C-alpha cells in the first residue's frame, strides 16, 4: 500500500482503522470489502479488528467493523464493541454480530475515531491480560 503511512490508516495493537472519508465519489456500499482488502496489503494480523469509515451522504458517514479471524464462538462480539463506540456519538447501529456497521453524522467523525481508538486499545489490553 503506497499510502500505508497515511494519517487515514491507523494501525494499533490488534486493530486497524481505515478512514476513506476523504476519497471523493467512493461508494460507501463497498466499505466492507475495501477495508478487508486494505487489511490484507497492510499486513494486519489475522485476529485483528478492522474499522472503516466512508461518506454515505453529505451529512452521514458509514462505519464498518470486521474481525479478520474465523467466525466462531470465541470471536469478538462486534455488536458490543461498536455499540460502546457509537453510543458516545449518537450513531445508529446496523448489521449483526459478525458484520457490524453504523451510521454517524459527518461532524462526529473525528470524535468517533478518537473514541474507537480508546475502545479498541482497551479491548486489546484485555486480550493480552487473558
Question: What is the per-residue DSSP string for 53-122?
Answer: EEE-SSSEEEEEEEE-S--STTS--HHHHHHHHHGGGT-EEEEETTEEEEEEEGGGHHHHHHHHHHHHHH
Could you tell me the pTM of the whole model? 0.88
* pLDDT tens per residue across span 70-100: 766 667 888 899 999 999 999 999 987 667 9
Please check the confidence at residue 1 and state whether its pLDDT lies above 50. no
Report the pLDDT value the prediction gives residue 2, as an integer from 0 to 100: 46
Which residues have a Cβ under 8 Å from the Cβ of 78 and sit 6 or more positions away?
49, 65, 66, 67, 95, 97, 98, 99, 100
How many CB atoms within 10 Å of residue 107? Answer: 10
* pLDDT tens per residue across span 6-62: 678 898 988 999 999 999 899 999 998 999 888 888 888 888 899 999 999 999 999
CA distances from 61 to 22, 34, 65, 114 (A): 11, 15, 13, 15
Report the pLDDT value the prediction gives residue 115, as an integer from 0 to 100: 97
Dihedral over alpha carbons 80, 86, 87, 93 (to 10 degrees) = -70
Amino acid at each position: 500500500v503506497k499510502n500505508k503511512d497515511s494519517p487515514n490508516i491507523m494501525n494499533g495493537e490488534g486493530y486497524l482503522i481505515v478512514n476513506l472519508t476523504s476519497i471523493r465519489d467512493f461508494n460507501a456500499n463497498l466499505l466492507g470489502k475495501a477495508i478487508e482488502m486494505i487489511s490484507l496489503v497492510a499486513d494486519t494480523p489475522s485476529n485483528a479488528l478492522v474499522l472503516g469509515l466512508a461518506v454515505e451522504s453529505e451529512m452521514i458517514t458509514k462505519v464498518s467493523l470486521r474481525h479478520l479471524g474465523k467466525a466462531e464462538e470465541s470471536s469478538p462480539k462486534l455488536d458490543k464493541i461498536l455499540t460502546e463506540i457509537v453510543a458516545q456519538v449518537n450513531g445508529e447501529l446496523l448489521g449483526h454480530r459478525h458484520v457490524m456497521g453504523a451510521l454517524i453524522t459527518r461532524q462526529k467523525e473525528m470524535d468517533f475515531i478518537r473514541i474507537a481508538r480508546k475502545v479498541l486499545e482497551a479491548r486489546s489490553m484485555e486480550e493480552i491480560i487473558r
